[in-house]
Structure 1
Amino acid sequence: MPTYIEEPIMQYVFVPGAWHGGWAWHPVARRVRAAGHGVTALTMPGLSLGEDSGRLRLADAVDFLVDEVERRDLVDVVLVGHSWGGIPVVAAAERLRKRLARLDFFSAFIPRAGESMADAMGPEVGAFLRTSIESAADRTISVDFESFQASLMPGEPEALQRLVFEQLVPQPGGYMLDALESVDVPGLGVPVGYVLAADDRALAAPGAELAARAGVEPVLVPGGHEALLTAPDLVADALLGR
């Protein structure tokens, strides 16, 4: 693990993407902590194995994120969202503005106002998601191995793909179907960064377009959607501005 020059202490709060828990951020978080910063890698409600998640809505994820930051009395916070995690990060940032030092995204979705994750995937995929969620007894949505392999970890050894896939849990349907009423990342008045995996095949829109919604140009790092696991040195360096 690299040793970094001492920097001002910030409190990094990492939010994972769909089907993932805080574990997905651990390799990056350890490197950020080695740089002298505080780290918290959250697992959102319903994304621990065995949890009852059928009634959860997007607002529950946002409330949880805000409550965790306030409960821990964190200041100088850097909120970091990956993939779907960009949605609750955007919403929570509005409520946590006075505690924020920075807002960062890694290959994250930044929605338009009124646009759910399902909407952003296009009419065909969106309809499939809605039908699947509404017909599931627990109102969750899972990802099959072939889709995970092709979109989230293409080109990686199959043994590694299967190891990561086995950690995934069903995503609460409300997280995918609900939308934010308003989105204005540039208007938050805090510094923003967007780190983009150059070979990402899983984003609902081109990474440069998503970064533009945040008012910034993306910083590219090699790798795919799961580069936070496969290239944590590079992702950590990019988040730390190195």
Structure 2
Amino acid sequence: MTTYVMIPGAWHGGWSWAPVAQRLRAAGHQAATLTLPGLGDGDDPRDRRLSAAVDHIVRFVVDRDLRDVVLVAHSWGGYPVNGAAGQLGDRLAGIVYYGAQIPVTGRSLVDDNPAEAEAMLRGLIDSSPTRSIAPTLEFVQHIFMQDAAPEVQRLVADLLTPMPGDYFLDPAEGPAVTTLGIPLHYLLGDEDHAPPHPGEVFARRAGLTPIAVPGTHEGLLTHPEEIAKAILATNAAH
């Protein structure tokens, strides 16, 4: 039995992984959906550092003495997963990236964006009284889930929370995941246009070729059956 610890992307909480997690449990595995500090409903996004998000994942695994853990990262979740993976030692059995950004250690998400997007993100953070980036319906409609019905897009937009700016500004922690000696897999939605670089670019950082799955960046909500099956297939390959 594998224990999947599922890390959401920017603006998202553990709720975003719930439909997939339910299907992993139905297949006989454990699955935990984490909400990282500052990303819960009503949380204050100020003074949230990437190191705290990393520590949150590590503490969750260690405090429960979890073993045979597969970290599953969505989108920005690749950043805290990178730091946590380097601290979990033999508890860690693998990493599955889903439309995720695989960071370069010492480089922040903002730094890893094209120049125009970098300037936009820094401007949004600097102009916010809480140094956060608020979610918008327009972003959900055009970037995250462009194929969904309007009422679904609005629901997801209402569930998103402001993103602590320092999560985007702090440099990635931890060693390159290719040095950890664990299985790595990369799932990529066939209509996912949200990441700042094509998913193939991020996958190559881990020496991977993406495995195509249906859906946009929010396929974990719109196609949970297919995403769960793809995650289980990566586990069965070992």
Which range, TM-score by smaller chain? over 0.9
- Verify the 8 A CA contact 1:32 1:240 in the aligned structure 2: yes
Distance 2:67 2:174 in 1: 24
- TM-score by length of structure 1 reads 0.93
The structure 1 segments of at least 4 consecutive aligned residues displaced by more than 4 Å after TM superposition are none
Q: Which residue of 2 aligns with 1:90?
A: 82
DSSP-derived class of the 2:99 partner: strand
Q: Which residue of 2 aligns with 1:101?
A: 93
Selected match of 1:21 from 2, 13, 16: 13
Q: Which residue of 2 aligns with 1:133?
A: 125
Selected match of 2:222 from 208, 230, 240: 230
Selected match of 2:205 from 195, 213, 223: 213
User: What are the superposed Cα offsets for residues 108-133 of structure 1, whole Å, 9 maximum, x if unpaired?
Assistant: 00112332111222111111211221
2:164 is the counterpart of 1:161? no
User: What are the superposed Cα offsets for residues 19-62 of structure 1, whole Å, 9 maximum, x if unpaired?
Assistant: 00000000000000011111110000001122122011111100
Q: Which residue of 2 aligns with 1:186?
A: 178
DSSP-derived class of the 1:39 partner: strand
Matches within 5 A, 1:191-210: 191-210=183-202
- TM-score by length of structure 2 reads 0.95
DSSP-derived class of the 1:166 partner: helix
Q: Which residue of 2 aligns with 1:6?
A: none
DSSP-derived class of the 1:120 partner: coil
- Verify the 8 A CA contact 2:78 2:97 in the aligned structure 1: yes
The Cα of 1:137 is off from its aligned counterpart by: 1.3
- Aligned-pair identity (%): 47
2:114 is the counterpart of 1:122? yes
Letter in 2 for 1:224: T
5+ residue gaps in structure 2?
none
User: What are the superposed Cα offsets for residues 180-231 of structure 1, whole Å, 9 maximum, x if unpaired?
Assistant: 2554111110111111111101012111121111122111011100000000
RMSD of aligned Cα (Å): 1.2
Letter in 2 for 1:98: D
The Cα of 1:136 is off from its aligned counterpart by: 1.3
